[in-house]
Each structure stands twice: as C-alpha cells, then as structure tokens.
Structure 1
Amino acid sequence: MTTVIKIEGDSPYSIPHVDHIAAIAHGENVDLTMYVALPGHTDLEPIYVQLSVPAADALLVELSRAIAETAKHRSGR
C-alpha cells in the first residue's frame, strides 16, 4: 500500500530527520529508502525514491563531496 505525500509551499522542501537509509538494485534503477522521523508518528516511516543509475551515481558523488567537507570542518582544517 502506498501513501500519498502532499508537499505544500515553495521549494526547497525539508524532510525531517533521516535516521538511516538503504539502497538496492531494482531492475535498471536503484531504490533508495529513507527512514524518516515524522511529526506525529511514533515509528520511523520509510520513504522510497527510485533513482536512475545516472541520478544514483550523481548522488554518490555529491554525498562523497559533502562527507569529505564535513570531515574537514570537524577536524578543524
């Protein structure tokens, strides 16, 4: 059963805290699942996003860059 998510207001849209994520191959795409803490929910709610391989690869590059930048700031360099 799928749930409709209604996004209101102007972008960019903010998703509350993401606790953990998972990614699996699904045919010619990558399925990304984010487990999100939503207001009014006691359990983490999964949000599924289907990515093309180029989009998944671009996400990997962006995440790697952001992680390296965050690590640099934490070490005080």
Structure 2
Amino acid sequence: MTPVLSSRRKNAIIQDLTPPSYVTPPSYDPRIKRYYQRKRARTNGVIAIKTVAHKLARACFYILRDQVRFDVTKAFA
C-alpha cells in the first residue's frame, strides 16, 4: 500500500509501519510477552498490541532523550 499524504493523513507512513513492528516484541522477551498476555486477558488483542506499542514508543523517546540503554524492567515492570 502506497501511503497517501494529505492533510487528513499527515503521519500515514508512521501509521503504516508501526503495527507490524510492534507485533513481534512479545515473542522475543518473556517480560513483554507476560505483560501482553495479562493485558490481552483483560481486553482484546488489538488494545493489548497498542499498549505494548505505546510502552515501546515511550521507551524509545526516553532512550533518545537521555542517551541510555533500554531497560525492560523499567518499561514492563
């Protein structure tokens, strides 16, 4: 799908790229997977993926801002 950049979809490229990139982390780290499974048990799968994506995006922001390494225990306690 070629993203259409218009006034309504300013961040179309970001919207098209983020969902696949945030589906795979729960399978790589057991703490993220445990958080995802807990969230999915309480809500539906889409909300669980979006909360994991939001937590990872916030972690990326703090990594870039503070120039520190990623600590999964801070993001997914």
Query: For this structure pair, what is the TM-score category when the shorter chain's length is used for normalisation?
Result: 0.3 to 0.5
Q: Normalized per residue, which structure has more helix? A: 2
> If each structure's strand is expressed as a fraction of its own residues, which one has the higher value?
1
- Which of 1 and 2 has greater Rg? 1
Normalised by the size of structure 1, how large is the TM-score?
0.36
RCO higher in structure (CA 8 A, sep ≥6)? 2
